[in-house]
Amino acid sequence: MSCETLEDYPHDPRGASCLVLGYSGEKPIHIVCGRARNEWLLVITVYTPKPPKWIGPRTRAKRGDRNEA
């Protein structure tokens, strides 16, 4: 399994975290994770990147392009 860090959030008030892209077979998966105080990996959320927020696995839609209600 391989992954790619898409975004880094070093100043998140809850603690440094990052957005990681991985794949389950051919399906892209986003994982937001950080480190717990004991240095264990802390998984915050996992989701499939989809429109309107994402236009591809690596590309976030611009706010004006989202067509959100």
Instruction: Reduce the secondary structure of 1-25 to three states and give it as a string.
Output: CCCEEEEEECCCCCCCEEEEEEEEC
pLDDT (tens digit per residue) in 14-64: 889 999 999 999 999 999 999 888 989 999 999 999 999 999 999 999 876
pLDDT number for residue 68 = 56
pLDDT number for residue 65 = 62
Tell me how crowded residue 20 is: count the other CB atoms within 10 A of its CB. Answer: 17
pLDDT number for residue 66 = 59
pLDDT number for residue 5 = 96
Overall domain count for the chain: 1
pTM of the model: 0.82
Range of the domain at 58: 4-65
pLDDT number for residue 37 = 85
